[in-house]
Amino acid sequence: MRRAIGASSFLWSSPFCDGELWLAQHVKALGFEVFEVCVEDPAIVSAAAVAEASEAAGIAVSVCGAFGPERDVSHEDAVVRGQAVAYLEYCIDLASRVGSPHVAGPMYAATGVTRLLTGGERKAQRSRAVEGLRRVAEMAGERGVRLAIEPLNRFETDLINTIEQGLELCDLVGLRNVGLLLDTFHMNIEERSLPAAVRAAGDRLFHFHASENDRGAPGSGHIGWLEVFDALDDIGYEGQIVIESFTPEIKEIARAVSLWRPVAESPDALASAGLAFLRAVDTRRDVTGSGPAE
Protein backbone atom coordinates (compact mmCIF):
# COMPACT_ATOMS: atom_id res chain seq x y z
CA MET A 1 0.00 0.00 0.00
CA ARG A 2 1.30 3.47 -0.86
CA ARG A 3 0.20 6.11 1.64
CA ALA A 4 0.78 9.88 1.59
CA ILE A 5 3.93 10.70 3.55
CA GLY A 6 4.52 14.13 5.04
CA ALA A 7 6.95 16.20 7.06
CA SER A 8 6.28 18.37 10.11
CA SER A 9 7.10 22.07 10.18
CA PHE A 10 8.75 21.35 13.55
CA LEU A 11 11.70 19.92 11.62
CA TRP A 12 12.64 23.40 10.43
CA SER A 13 10.71 26.02 12.37
CA SER A 14 9.23 27.00 15.73
CA PRO A 15 6.97 28.87 16.03
CA PHE A 16 5.83 28.38 12.45
CA CYS A 17 4.39 31.47 10.75
CA ASP A 18 3.11 32.71 7.38
CA GLY A 19 6.57 34.08 6.62
CA GLU A 20 7.92 30.53 6.50
CA LEU A 21 5.39 29.13 4.05
CA TRP A 22 8.25 28.71 1.57
CA LEU A 23 8.57 25.42 3.45
CA ALA A 24 5.50 24.10 1.61
CA GLN A 25 7.42 24.25 -1.67
CA HIS A 26 10.59 22.97 0.01
CA VAL A 27 8.84 19.96 1.53
CA LYS A 28 7.26 19.20 -1.84
CA ALA A 29 10.66 19.45 -3.55
CA LEU A 30 12.06 16.91 -1.09
CA GLY A 31 9.44 14.48 -2.34
CA PHE A 32 6.75 14.67 0.33
CA GLU A 33 3.02 14.75 -0.34
CA VAL A 34 1.92 16.34 2.95
CA PHE A 35 3.12 19.38 4.86
CA GLU A 36 2.13 19.34 8.52
CA VAL A 37 1.59 22.85 9.89
CA CYS A 38 2.16 23.01 13.64
CA VAL A 39 0.26 25.94 15.11
CA GLU A 40 1.99 27.37 18.18
CA ASP A 41 0.81 30.98 17.77
CA PRO A 42 -2.50 31.42 15.90
CA ALA A 43 -1.79 35.14 15.46
CA ILE A 44 0.99 34.42 12.96
CA VAL A 45 -0.65 31.61 10.93
CA SER A 46 -3.50 32.47 8.57
CA ALA A 47 -5.71 30.09 6.63
CA ALA A 48 -5.62 32.17 3.45
CA ALA A 49 -1.82 32.19 3.32
CA VAL A 50 -1.51 28.47 4.11
CA ALA A 51 -4.11 27.56 1.50
CA GLU A 52 -2.44 29.71 -1.16
CA ALA A 53 1.03 28.30 -0.45
CA SER A 54 -0.09 24.68 -0.37
CA GLU A 55 -2.07 25.05 -3.58
CA ALA A 56 0.90 26.68 -5.32
CA ALA A 57 3.20 23.89 -4.14
CA GLY A 58 0.72 21.15 -4.94
CA ILE A 59 0.93 19.64 -1.49
CA ALA A 60 -1.69 18.53 1.04
CA VAL A 61 -1.84 20.08 4.52
CA SER A 62 -2.14 18.51 7.95
CA VAL A 63 -2.90 20.67 10.99
CA CYS A 64 -1.30 19.83 14.33
CA GLY A 65 -1.83 21.71 17.58
CA ALA A 66 0.57 22.72 20.33
CA PHE A 67 -0.74 22.60 23.89
CA GLY A 68 1.06 24.71 26.44
CA PRO A 69 -0.11 25.57 29.98
CA GLU A 70 -2.58 28.20 28.78
CA ARG A 71 -4.36 25.60 26.56
CA ASP A 72 -5.55 22.87 28.88
CA VAL A 73 -9.12 21.58 28.53
CA SER A 74 -8.61 19.49 31.68
CA HIS A 75 -7.51 22.39 33.90
CA GLU A 76 -9.29 23.24 37.14
CA ASP A 77 -9.58 26.90 36.07
CA ALA A 78 -12.49 27.56 33.72
CA VAL A 79 -10.59 30.46 32.13
CA VAL A 80 -7.75 28.17 31.07
CA ARG A 81 -10.24 25.62 29.75
CA GLY A 82 -11.93 28.37 27.76
CA GLN A 83 -8.63 29.39 26.21
CA ALA A 84 -8.01 25.80 25.17
CA VAL A 85 -11.43 25.55 23.56
CA ALA A 86 -10.94 28.83 21.69
CA TYR A 87 -7.54 27.65 20.43
CA LEU A 88 -8.97 24.33 19.25
CA GLU A 89 -11.82 26.15 17.51
CA TYR A 90 -9.21 28.21 15.64
CA CYS A 91 -7.34 25.05 14.62
CA ILE A 92 -10.56 23.40 13.45
CA ASP A 93 -11.45 26.45 11.36
CA LEU A 94 -7.93 26.47 9.91
CA ALA A 95 -8.15 22.76 9.06
CA SER A 96 -11.50 23.16 7.34
CA ARG A 97 -10.22 26.08 5.25
CA VAL A 98 -6.94 24.48 4.14
CA GLY A 99 -8.27 20.98 3.51
CA SER A 100 -6.70 19.17 6.45
CA PRO A 101 -8.75 16.09 7.35
CA HIS A 102 -8.01 16.57 11.01
CA VAL A 103 -6.61 18.57 13.87
CA ALA A 104 -4.06 16.40 15.66
CA GLY A 105 -2.17 16.52 18.94
CA PRO A 106 -2.38 15.90 22.70
CA MET A 107 -5.39 18.15 23.07
CA TYR A 108 -6.67 16.64 26.34
CA ALA A 109 -4.17 18.48 28.60
CA ALA A 110 -1.14 20.74 28.64
CA THR A 111 2.08 19.04 27.58
CA GLY A 112 4.61 18.74 30.37
CA VAL A 113 2.11 18.45 33.23
CA THR A 114 3.02 15.38 35.31
CA ARG A 115 1.49 14.96 38.76
CA LEU A 116 0.63 12.15 41.15
CA LEU A 117 -3.11 12.67 41.59
CA THR A 118 -5.61 10.64 43.57
CA GLY A 119 -8.09 8.49 41.71
CA GLY A 120 -10.83 11.04 42.30
CA GLU A 121 -8.68 13.93 41.11
CA ARG A 122 -7.72 12.04 37.96
CA LYS A 123 -11.34 11.18 37.24
CA ALA A 124 -12.31 14.85 37.60
CA GLN A 125 -9.47 15.90 35.29
CA ARG A 126 -10.54 13.39 32.66
CA SER A 127 -14.16 14.51 32.96
CA ARG A 128 -13.18 18.11 32.30
CA ALA A 129 -11.16 17.01 29.27
CA VAL A 130 -14.11 15.01 27.94
CA GLU A 131 -16.47 17.95 28.32
CA GLY A 132 -14.17 20.33 26.45
CA LEU A 133 -13.29 17.85 23.71
CA ARG A 134 -16.92 16.97 23.10
CA ARG A 135 -17.72 20.65 22.67
CA VAL A 136 -15.02 21.22 20.04
CA ALA A 137 -15.65 17.84 18.39
CA GLU A 138 -19.22 18.86 17.68
CA MET A 139 -17.95 21.97 15.91
CA ALA A 140 -15.35 19.89 14.06
CA GLY A 141 -18.01 17.46 12.90
CA GLU A 142 -20.02 20.31 11.41
CA ARG A 143 -16.90 21.34 9.44
CA GLY A 144 -16.06 17.82 8.30
CA VAL A 145 -12.90 17.75 10.47
CA ARG A 146 -11.71 14.92 12.70
CA LEU A 147 -9.90 15.24 16.02
CA ALA A 148 -6.86 12.96 16.25
CA ILE A 149 -5.87 12.67 19.92
CA GLU A 150 -2.24 11.83 20.63
CA PRO A 151 -1.16 9.75 23.65
CA LEU A 152 2.20 11.02 24.95
CA ASN A 153 4.83 9.25 26.98
CA ARG A 154 4.86 9.38 30.77
CA PHE A 155 7.50 12.12 30.88
CA GLU A 156 5.31 14.54 28.90
CA THR A 157 1.84 13.95 30.34
CA ASP A 158 0.19 12.18 33.24
CA LEU A 159 -3.23 11.73 31.64
CA ILE A 160 -3.14 9.74 28.37
CA ASN A 161 -0.03 7.59 27.83
CA THR A 162 -1.28 4.44 26.09
CA ILE A 163 -3.50 3.55 23.18
CA GLU A 164 -5.87 1.85 25.63
CA GLN A 165 -6.24 5.10 27.59
CA GLY A 166 -6.67 7.02 24.36
CA LEU A 167 -9.44 4.75 23.17
CA GLU A 168 -11.17 5.06 26.54
CA LEU A 169 -11.07 8.85 26.20
CA CYS A 170 -12.51 8.64 22.68
CA ASP A 171 -15.33 6.44 23.97
CA LEU A 172 -16.10 8.91 26.76
CA VAL A 173 -16.31 11.78 24.27
CA GLY A 174 -18.65 9.56 22.29
CA LEU A 175 -18.42 11.10 18.82
CA ARG A 176 -17.24 9.22 15.74
CA ASN A 177 -15.05 12.07 14.47
CA VAL A 178 -12.84 11.66 17.56
CA GLY A 179 -9.98 9.19 17.19
CA LEU A 180 -6.26 8.82 17.70
CA LEU A 181 -2.93 10.06 16.44
CA LEU A 182 -0.29 7.43 17.14
CA ASP A 183 3.38 8.41 17.36
CA THR A 184 6.04 5.70 17.29
CA PHE A 185 8.37 7.69 19.56
CA HIS A 186 5.82 7.71 22.38
CA MET A 187 4.60 4.19 21.63
CA ASN A 188 8.16 2.87 21.89
CA ILE A 189 8.21 4.03 25.52
CA GLU A 190 4.70 3.09 26.59
CA GLU A 191 3.51 0.08 24.57
CA ARG A 192 4.69 -3.50 25.07
CA SER A 193 4.10 -4.20 21.37
CA LEU A 194 3.86 -1.49 18.73
CA PRO A 195 2.05 -3.68 16.16
CA ALA A 196 -0.46 -4.84 18.78
CA ALA A 197 -1.12 -1.23 19.78
CA VAL A 198 -1.73 -0.22 16.16
CA ARG A 199 -4.13 -3.12 15.71
CA ALA A 200 -5.93 -2.18 18.92
CA ALA A 201 -6.51 1.34 17.57
CA GLY A 202 -8.18 -0.12 14.48
CA ASP A 203 -10.53 2.23 12.71
CA ARG A 204 -10.05 4.85 15.41
CA LEU A 205 -6.58 5.57 14.02
CA PHE A 206 -6.96 8.90 12.21
CA HIS A 207 -3.33 10.04 11.86
CA PHE A 208 0.18 8.61 12.27
CA HIS A 209 3.55 10.13 13.25
CA ALA A 210 6.67 8.26 12.21
CA SER A 211 9.61 9.00 14.49
CA GLU A 212 12.58 6.86 15.42
CA ASN A 213 13.22 5.83 19.03
CA ASP A 214 15.68 8.76 19.45
CA ARG A 215 13.61 11.22 17.37
CA GLY A 216 15.96 10.63 14.43
CA ALA A 217 15.11 9.61 10.88
CA PRO A 218 12.84 6.57 10.62
CA GLY A 219 15.02 3.58 9.84
CA SER A 220 18.05 4.80 11.77
CA GLY A 221 17.17 3.19 15.11
CA HIS A 222 15.50 0.13 16.58
CA ILE A 223 11.78 0.63 15.81
CA GLY A 224 10.43 -2.50 14.08
CA TRP A 225 9.04 -0.67 11.07
CA LEU A 226 8.13 -3.67 8.94
CA GLU A 227 5.96 -5.04 11.73
CA VAL A 228 4.40 -1.62 12.35
CA PHE A 229 3.51 -1.26 8.67
CA ASP A 230 2.12 -4.80 8.59
CA ALA A 231 -0.19 -3.73 11.41
CA LEU A 232 -1.19 -0.57 9.53
CA ASP A 233 -2.06 -2.79 6.56
CA ASP A 234 -4.05 -5.15 8.77
CA ILE A 235 -6.32 -2.36 10.01
CA GLY A 236 -6.66 -0.85 6.52
CA TYR A 237 -5.06 2.45 7.47
CA GLU A 238 -4.98 4.71 4.41
CA GLY A 239 -4.32 8.04 6.13
CA GLN A 240 -1.27 10.27 6.21
CA ILE A 241 2.07 9.29 7.72
CA VAL A 242 4.07 12.31 8.89
CA ILE A 243 7.70 12.40 9.98
CA GLU A 244 7.90 14.44 13.17
CA SER A 245 11.18 15.50 14.70
CA PHE A 246 12.68 18.69 16.08
CA THR A 247 15.82 20.76 15.79
CA PRO A 248 17.94 21.56 18.85
CA GLU A 249 18.77 24.86 17.16
CA ILE A 250 15.41 26.17 18.35
CA LYS A 251 15.90 26.41 22.10
CA GLU A 252 12.27 26.64 23.20
CA ILE A 253 11.10 23.52 21.41
CA ALA A 254 14.32 21.64 22.21
CA ARG A 255 13.76 22.29 25.91
CA ALA A 256 10.12 21.26 25.68
CA VAL A 257 10.92 17.87 24.11
CA SER A 258 14.25 17.34 25.92
CA LEU A 259 16.28 17.29 22.71
CA TRP A 260 19.82 18.11 23.81
CA ARG A 261 21.79 16.96 20.78
CA PRO A 262 21.37 16.77 16.99
CA VAL A 263 19.80 13.50 15.81
CA ALA A 264 20.76 14.07 12.17
CA GLU A 265 23.19 16.10 10.10
CA SER A 266 20.43 18.55 9.21
CA PRO A 267 16.62 18.73 9.05
CA ASP A 268 16.78 18.15 5.29
CA ALA A 269 19.00 15.10 5.78
CA LEU A 270 16.63 13.65 8.38
CA ALA A 271 13.60 14.33 6.21
CA SER A 272 15.12 12.88 3.03
CA ALA A 273 16.48 9.74 4.68
CA GLY A 274 13.25 9.17 6.56
CA LEU A 275 11.13 9.60 3.44
CA ALA A 276 13.22 7.17 1.38
CA PHE A 277 13.06 4.59 4.15
CA LEU A 278 9.32 4.91 4.83
CA ARG A 279 8.47 4.81 1.15
CA ALA A 280 10.52 1.62 0.78
CA VAL A 281 8.82 0.01 3.78
CA ASP A 282 5.35 1.11 2.69
CA THR A 283 5.78 -0.40 -0.76
CA ARG A 284 7.68 -3.40 0.65
CA ARG A 285 10.83 -2.97 -1.37
CA ASP A 286 14.10 -4.33 0.02
CA VAL A 287 14.94 -2.24 3.07
CA THR A 288 17.66 -2.08 5.69
CA GLY A 289 17.40 -0.69 9.19
CA SER A 290 13.88 -1.98 9.67
CA GLY A 291 14.60 -2.83 13.27
CA PRO A 292 14.05 -6.06 15.19
CA ALA A 293 10.87 -8.05 15.03
CA GLU A 294 8.41 -7.23 17.76
User: 3-state SS of the chain?
Assistant: CCCCEEEEHHHCCCCCCHHHCHHHHHHHHCCCCEEEEEECCHHHCCHHHHHHHHHHHCCEEEEEECCCCCCCCCCCCHHHHHHHHHHHHHHHHHHHHHCCCEEEECCCCCCCECCCCCHHHHHHHHHHHHHHHHHHHHHHHHCCCEEEECCCCCCCECCCCCHHHHHHHHHHHCCCCEEEEEEHHHHHHHCCCHHHHHHHHHHHEEEEEECCCCCCCCCCCCCCHHHHHHHHHHCCCCCCEEECCCCCCCHHHHHHCCCCCCCCCCHHHHHHHHHHHHHHHHCCCCCCCCCCCC
Residue 150 falls in the annotated catalytic set = yes
Spatial distance between the Cα atoms of 249 and 257, rounded to a whole number of angstroms:
13
List 33, 150, 191, 212, catalytic entry: 150
Question: Of residues 40, 156, 227, 244, which has the active-site annotation?
Answer: 244
What's the sign of the alpha-carbon dihedral 150, 151, 155, 157?
Answer: positive
Catalytic residues: 150, 244
